[in-house]
Amino acid sequence: MENRHMKKIKVQVLDPKSFEPFGVVISTDNFEPDRVPGAFDWYGELADFNDIDHATFNLMTVYPREVKIEKFECHVKTREAVIPLGGKGVIIPLSPPGEVTEDSIAAFYVPGNKAVVFHPGTWHYVPFTFEDSANFITAYRRDTSKDDVQYAEPPYPMEIEI
């Protein structure tokens, strides 16, 4: 990939409206739970995976590294959830379904108390962290890593700016 110049992508605050081209935000912000005081709060059906017959849950740990976007992947047969663990958030580079262009690339900070579900075909890659490490679960259709991974590169490397 030729490094003609380096465009900076500003990290956006996670908001359901601005995240809409990429997927949905899983959050309890605007929902009233079913509540048993002193025992639990239940927030049911915040995201729907009705198009997946068999899902797999995967665990990933990321470490601090250079915040440069050089590659994307997508899955056209499935949605993908990214669920941070341990209260540590991650920064995810994204591009909506379709062609990856300079103007289509975005980056979102997903705090440790929220999660996201990508639309099928949403371009993404391994999240970044500024913590010592960050763990998260990804969930998608079984066999996705074997039969539904496409790769693309941005027009040139891009840096993520906080």
* pLDDT 10s digits, 31-75: 888 988 888 888 887 887 777 788 899 999 999 999 999 999 999
pTM: 0.88
Tokens linked to 68: 């440069």
pLDDT digits (tens, 9 = 90+) for 108-144: 999 999 999 999 999 999 999 989 999 999 999 999 9
Residue 75: beta bridge partners? none
Residue range 15-35, pLDDT digits in tens = 999 999 999 999 988 888 898
Token pair of 35, please?
A: 């509540």
pLDDT at 80 over 90: yes
Structural contact between residues 82 and 116, judged by C-beta atoms closer than 8 angstroms: yes
